[in-house]
Each structure stands twice: as structure tokens, then as C-alpha cells.
């Protein structure tokens, strides 16, 4: 299974959430590290990590309103 390009994922999340790419990159890397620590199957890791980062950014942007 071909893994999506992390840079493309980060750019997409940054554009969708109007968050600087540097912040999204840091969040993605931290979330990846947390999820992969105990993961035994990595096939859908990028999807799960991207989903968590998007949810976190949406949650924090909703609180700012």
C-alpha cells in the first residue's frame, strides 16, 4: 500500500484549517509519534494521524470564536 506524501497531507490540513504549515507539521509529527509507539499495523496510520490533527485544530478554533 502506497503511503501518501506527508508534505501534501500537512499542506491540505493547513489550508483547510487556516493554520500555518509549521504548526500543522509539528502537530502531525507529535501525533504520529504518539500513535506509532504502540502500533503494530501501520497501513492506515497517516489517515488516523491526519484525522486527529484536523479534529484537534477544529476543536481549538471553535473555542476561539
pLDDT digits (tens, 9 = 90+) for 13-29: 999 999 999 999 999 99
Q: What are φ and ψ of residue 38, in 5° steps?
A: -115, 5
Overall domain count for the chain:
1
How confident is the model at residue 62, as a pLDDT?
A: 66
Q: Which residues of the chain register pLDDT less than 50?
A: 65
Domain span at residue 48 reads 6-64
pLDDT score of 60: 80
Is the residue at 36 inside a domain? yes
Give the rounded distance of the alpha carbon of 14 from its chain centre: 9
- pLDDT for the residue 35: 94
**Residue 16 within a domain:** yes
Task: Say what the pLDDT of residue 65 is.
Answer: 45
pLDDT score, position 6: 93
Cβ-in-10-Å burial (0-12, 13-18, 19+) of 9 comes to buried
- The answer to whether position 35 is within a domain reads yes
Residue 1 belongs to a domain: no
Amino acid at each position: 500500500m502506497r503511503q501518501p506524501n506527508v508534505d501534501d497531507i500537512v499542506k491540505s490540513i493547513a489550508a483547510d484549517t487556516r493554520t500555518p504549515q509549521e504548526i500543522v507539521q509539528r502537530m502531525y509529527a507529535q501525533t504520529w509519534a504518539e500513535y506509532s509507539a504502540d502500533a503494530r499495523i501501520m497501513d492506515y496510520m497517516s489517515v488516523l494521524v491526519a484525522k486527529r490533527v484536523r479534529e484537534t485544530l477544529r476543536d481549538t478554533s471553535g473555542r476561539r470564536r
